[in-house]
Amino acid sequence: MRIAVFGTGEVGSAVAGKLKSLGHDVVFGSRHPRPDQDGIPVLSHSEAAEHGEWLVNALHGDDAMAILPPLPLAGKLLIDIGNFQSVITGPLTHTLGESLQNALPDTRVVKTLNFVSAQLMGAPERLSAPHTMFIAANDAGARAAVIELLQDFGWRDILNLGDLTACRAMESLASMWIRLYETLGHVYFNIAIVRDPV
């Protein structure tokens, strides 16, 4: 699969590296094109958009809203890992996942991975007990395709939360992540949803 990862920071590097290790044809989209970063070509945003059948948003929310909607992304699938803000100081009034979908009506936006540390995204086995990944998308086919990719990443407990209104819950977890990080002092944690049959 040809995949373009937007953002060369912590999340972009982790996810692009994992995708490359799985054999995908990966490029970065960046403000600063260069021959490569860790062996992955770094293209301009528009060149990366052209390359990718699938796209990954690894940008901060406001940057993603500035960069992605003007690009020709119709017909493509966009995995959104971003958040508008990590420290939520008031009610969450809008979400990045829903905002991207509204701005890109012909692109299938899939929200996932936004509430775990970059170090765990492609290496969930780093944690010693089972833990949960959420996924949401308006398009059921896109959701199913990304569930398969998450399984390739090593995720075993993937909980389908339905359409993108679930972003309101999923993006709220970024704030929880920050508090847990401050409390625990490291990034190796995640939540597990324990559900018994009733």
Ligand X SMILES: NC(=O)c1ccc[n+]([C@@H]2O[C@H](COP(=O)([O-])OP(=O)(O)OC[C@H]3O[C@@H](n4cnc5c(N)ncnc54)[C@H](OP(=O)(O)O)[C@@H]3O)[C@@H](O)[C@H]2O)c1
| Binding interface with ligand X (CB under 6 A) | 7-12, 30-32, 58-61, 63, 67, 81-83, 86, 114, 117-118, 174
Which helix H or strand E contains 180, and what residues bound it?
helix 167-184
Q: Which is nearer to ligand X, 75 or 185 (CB)?
A: 185
Quote the least distance from Cβ 198 to ligand X, whole Å.
32
Nearer CB in complex with ligand X: 140/179: 179
Nearer to ligand X, 52 or 82 (CB): 82
CA–CA dist 12, 7 (Å, integer): 5
Residues 6+ away with beta carbon under 8 Å from 88: 172, 174, 175
Query: 43-60 burial string, b = 16+ CB within 10 Å, else e?
Result: bebebbbebbebbbbbbb
- Minimum CB separation of residue 36 from ligand X in Å reads 12
Nearest 5 degrees, angle CA 30-CA 116-CA 131? 145
Closest contact distance (angstroms) between CB of 81 and ligand X is: 5
Contacts of 198 (CB under 8 A, 6+ apart): none
Question: Is the CB of 107 or the CB of 190 nearer to ligand X?
Answer: 190
Q: Compute the least distance from the CB of residue 157 to ligand X, in Å.
A: 18
Q: Which residue number places its CB atom closest to ligand X?
A: 9
